[in-house]
Structure 1
Amino acid sequence: MHGGSFFDAKWRSSGEFRPKIVAYYYKQWDEFLMGFHAHDATEFMYVISGICSVETKNEVIAMRKGDLIMLDAGVPHKLRVDKDSPCRMLNVEFTFKPCEGVFPSLNQLAEGDPALLAMLERQLDTIVLRDSADVQHILKSLVMELDIGGAGAGKETMTNLLISQLLVRVARLAAEDAKDSAERQIHRYVRTAAEYIHQHYDCDIQAKDVAAAVSLHPVYLQRIFKANMNVSITEYLTELRVERAKMLLASTDVPIIEVADYIGLNSRQYFSMLFKKTTGMSPAAYRKSAASIQSFSTL
Structure 2
Amino acid sequence: MQAGGIYDAKWRGSGDYRPKIVAYYYKQWDDFHMGFHTHDWTEFMYVMSGTCTVETHDGAVALRKGDLIMLDAGIPHKLIVEKASPCRMLNVEFTFKPCGGIYPSAKQLSDNDAEFAAFLERGLGTVVLRDSADVQHILKSLVLELDIGRSGASRENMTNLLISQLLVRVARLAAEDAKDGAERQIHRYVQIAAEYLHQHYDCDIQARDVAAAVNLHPVYLQRIFKANMSVSITEYLTELRMEKAKMLLARTDVPIIEVADYIGLNSRQYFSMLFKKMTGMSPAAYRKSKASIQSFSSAQV
Fold equivalence (TM over 0.5): yes
Distance 1:155 1:124 in 2: 30
2:20 is matched with: 20
1:250 is matched with: 250
2:224 is matched with: 224
2:94 is matched with: 94
Unaligned runs of 5+ in 1: none
* Identity percentage of aligned residues: 80
**AA at the equivalent of 1:100:** G
1:168 is matched with: 168
Task: Give 1:128 shift.
Answer: 0.6
- Summarize deviations over 1:252-282 as a string: whole Å, max 9, x none: 2211111111111111111000101111111
- Summarize deviations over 1:130-166 as a string: whole Å, max 9, x none: 2432111111111122223855433322221111111
For residue 119 of structure 1, give the secondary structure of its aligned residue in structure 2: helix
2:207 is matched with: 207
Unaligned runs of 5+ in 2: none
**AA at the equivalent of 1:49:** S
**AA at the equivalent of 1:164:** S
**AA at the equivalent of 1:175:** A
**AA at the equivalent of 1:56:** T
Task: Give 1:294 shift.
Answer: 2.9
Question: Cα gap change, 1:149/1:222 in structure 2, threshold over 3 Å: closer, same or farther?
Answer: farther
Equivalent pair of 2:26/2:143 in contact (CA under 8 Å)? no
Distance 1:108 1:14 in 2: 11
For residue 50 of structure 2, give the secondary structure of its aligned residue in structure 1: strand
1:106 is matched with: 106
Count of paired positions:
299
Equivalent pair of 2:54/2:61 in contact (CA under 8 Å)? yes
Distance 1:149 1:241 in 2: 74
Matched, 1:75 2:81: no
2:194 is matched with: 194
Distance 1:251 1:183 in 2: 40
Equivalent pair of 2:19/2:95 in contact (CA under 8 Å)? yes
Equivalent pair of 1:65/1:131 in contact (CA under 8 Å)? no
Considering only aligned residues, what root-mean-square deviation do their CA atoms show, in Å?
1.4
Distance 1:79 1:157 in 2: 31
- Summarize deviations over 1:94-148 as a string: whole Å, max 9, x none: 1111112211111111111111101111111111102432111111111122223
**AA at the equivalent of 2:254:** V
Equivalent pair of 1:55/1:79 in contact (CA under 8 Å)? yes
Equivalent pair of 2:55/2:79 in contact (CA under 8 Å)? yes
Distance 1:2 1:266 in 2: 61
1:50 is matched with: 50
Distance 1:245 1:125 in 2: 54
**AA at the equivalent of 2:261:** D
2:274 is matched with: 274
Distance 2:292 2:139 in 1: 71
**AA at the equivalent of 1:110:** S
Distance 1:148 1:35 in 2: 31
Distance 1:258 1:131 in 2: 58
For residue 22 of structure 1, give the secondary structure of its aligned residue in structure 2: strand
Distance 1:170 1:195 in 2: 37
Equivalent pair of 2:131/2:173 in contact (CA under 8 Å)? no
Task: Give 1:201 shift.
Answer: 0.3
For residue 132 of structure 1, give the secondary structure of its aligned residue in structure 2: coil
Equivalent pair of 2:27/2:90 in contact (CA under 8 Å)? yes
Question: Cα gap change, 1:149/1:294 in structure 2, threshold over 3 Å: closer, same or farther?
Answer: farther
Equivalent pair of 1:103/1:160 in contact (CA under 8 Å)? yes
